[in-house]
Amino acid sequence: MQSADVTATFCATLVDEWVSLGVRAAVIAPGSRSTPMALALVASPVIQTHVFHDERSAAFAALGAAKSSGVPVLVLCTSGTAAANFLPAVAEASHAEVPLLVLTADRPPELQGVGAPQTIDQKHLYGSAVRAYFDAGVPDDESSDGWRRLAQRAFRSATSERPGPTHVNLPFREPLVGSAGPLPRRSTFAPYAGGTFKPLGTETLAKLATRLRKKRGVIIAGARGIRLDSAERLSQALGWPIIADPTGGCRGDAASLVRHADAWLRDQELSARFTPESVLRFGALPASKVVNQWLRESGAEMTTVSRTPFLVDPDRTTSMHIVTDGERLCDDLCSLVGESDEAWLKQWSSAERAARGVIGRLLDDESLLTEPGVARTTVAALPNDSQIVVSSSMPIRDVEWYSGSCAHVTVLSNRGANGIDGVVSTAVGAALGTARTTALLIGDVAFLHDSNGLIRLADRGIDLRIVVVDNRGGGIFSFLPQRALLASEAFEKVFGTPHETDLSLLARAHGVRVQSVMSSSQLRDALASRGPSIAIVRTGRDENVAHHDDIHRAVIEEVRQALTA
């Protein structure tokens, strides 16, 4: 075959193999050197292809699609700095354990190191952020028997015991447009069966049960942790409350599912009263700094259960780490832990009911929306079986601290590396990855940071309902010591960073329906219609800090009264 036909056949073979392994979506950033793979993806009758002009946006869209679907997604770009723009999303995918197949076109060896345009050193470009790196080499029909193995190895590394991004570098020679010939025969291949675990040994189970039995403890249900039904069974068996992070899927209505502990644990007296002896954490840590500090200072025995061997433990408090299926572990433990401490769970439930009452009264029907009220109303207003992407910084904290039940929605957030970049594109990708109604709650700075995610949004046929909290700058910094320690002018210049951008005009420039809302009822109405749409809520940064403090004081007072009644 001619070289262009060999290249076309090589790319078609990789795509065919990935399709056979379950891949169904690809995000493409336009470019010339990536032509052979782009054409192979578009030609596939199975792969859904989505084109994003900006490489960084494309990578985050692929991340969002993989998060929402749970299936590896392909993302493709041309050579040079285009590939470097994938790095932020690759880093997030690595920390959040999201499977991505990162495909970067490259110049062939003879154009390396001689100043050829759009040519940089792409070998191991993403360093330790990827699970594996593969250099495919210039396609050669004499090595065609290894093409499918390359696709298989890349897929396996992305979906292995610890899922994540895999980098496949694809050097192509010109000409770049050819016709695919017969593909190499498929071979038998068994990909990694994610989520299958060997049963824990009797000795390990007995040791764990001893750590939990007849102790006052708490269950932490974080992202990538455990199902609600399993958590509730274990909660009843142990007599322990569940501190339910919204991204963990366990944030229901039962009083044992604690949503608002962040508020009352800010009080030293109450924090001491709720000090646990043992902690059983499933999945990732909560976003709340207050809860994490309370866990660290409690001195409790910390047992962490995760589905992958990587331990998230920045405070180094975990003394026992178990890699297993959380649901099965709960079933095993329920028959081993013995009698529960009803008084301990009753104390937590009483405090939680009191906190819910205060927060509901303060936030459920605001005539002038506050940022806590925006978070609570947005989550509550979404239809059943929808999903919401929540930006880092204040939005995810406000959802964690103030939202009600999240049982009707799936909450997604880029809390692997905790960046604010790429959040709009992540939400667009999440909406593309499933047919579900999708919402995005985001601050103005993060919205501007990824406004390229709005490109062609109006034409993508997705139901994406965006809520932007516009406080004209970096709102989270007003909660940090810098606000009190710096002169106002210096703080505003470096941290407040007012942007002076008309977000409504920006939305209209992209052809997206936009409106400003002021009250809870207006926000609910805005979220009742199919997207794409953008609702903008104007708030003040200093007033926001004061309002958070008022809510926390009110919760603490109400919890104190409930516990003395």
pLDDT per residue, tens digit, the chain (565 aa), is: 679 999 999 999 999 999 999 999 999 999 999 999 999 999 999 999 999 999 999 999 999 999 999 999 999 999 999 999 999 999 999 999 999 999 999 999 999 889 998 999 999 999 999 999 999 999 998 899 999 999 999 999 999 999 999 999 999 999 999 999 999 998 877 766 565 677 788 888 888 888 888 889 999 999 998 999 999 999 999 999 999 999 999 999 998 999 999 999 999 999 999 999 999 999 999 989 999 999 999 999 999 999 999 999 999 999 999 999 888 899 888 888 877 778 999 999 999 999 999 999 999 999 999 999 999 999 999 999 999 999 998 999 999 999 999 999 999 999 999 899 999 999 999 999 998 999 999 999 999 999 999 999 999 999 999 999 998 877 677 777 877 777 887 877 788 788 889 999 999 999 999 999 999 999 999 999 999 999 999 998 888 888 999 999 999 999 999 999 7
In contact, 378 and 371? CB cutoff 8 Å: no
Indicate the domain borders of the chain: 3-171, 202-354, 364-556
The Cα–Cα gap between 153 and 270 comes to: 53
Cα 232 to the center of its chain, rounded Å:
24
* Right CATH for 364-556 from 3.40.640.10, 3.20.20.450, 3.40.50.970, 3.40.1440.60: 3.40.50.970
The Cα–Cα gap between 269 and 274 comes to: 9
Phi, psi for 105 (deg, rounded to 5): -70, 155
Give pTM, 2 decimals: 0.94
For 253, counting Cβ atoms within 10 Å of its Cβ (0-12 exposed, 13-18 middle, 19+ buried), the class is: exposed
pLDDT confidence of residue 475 = 65
CA angle (545, 546, 547) in 5-degree steps: 90
Q: Which amino acid is at 102?
A: V
Residues with Cβ within 8 Å of 124's Cβ and at least 6 positions away in sequence, in order, are: 133, 167
Residues with Cβ within 8 Å of 300's Cβ and at least 6 positions away in sequence, in order, are: 217, 275, 276, 277, 278, 279
Same fold, 202-354 and 364-556: yes
Distances (CA, A) of 354 to 261, 359, 373, 560: 11, 9, 18, 9
Tell me whether the omega of the peptide bond preceding residue 199 falls within 30 degrees of 0, making it cis: no
The Cα–Cα gap between 281 and 317 comes to: 11
In contact, 375 and 398? CB cutoff 8 Å: yes
Phi, psi for 449 (deg, rounded to 5): -60, -30
The Cα–Cα gap between 421 and 418 comes to: 9
CATH class of 3-171: alpha beta
Residue count (the chain): 565
> Was domain 202-354 assigned CATH 3.20.20.70?
no
Smallest Cα–Cα separation from 230: which of 126, 331, 342? 331
In contact, 279 and 302? CB cutoff 8 Å: yes
Residues with Cβ within 8 Å of 234's Cβ and at least 6 positions away in sequence, in order, are: 219, 240, 280, 330, 333, 334
Tokens of 98: 């999201």
For 279, counting Cβ atoms within 10 Å of its Cβ (0-12 exposed, 13-18 middle, 19+ buried), the class is: buried
pLDDT confidence of residue 178 = 95
The Cα–Cα gap between 193 and 152 comes to: 13
pLDDT confidence of residue 265 = 96
Beta sheet of 217-221, edge-to-edge order: 257-258, 242-244, 217-221, 278-282, 301-306, 318-323
The Cα–Cα gap between 243 and 287 comes to: 12
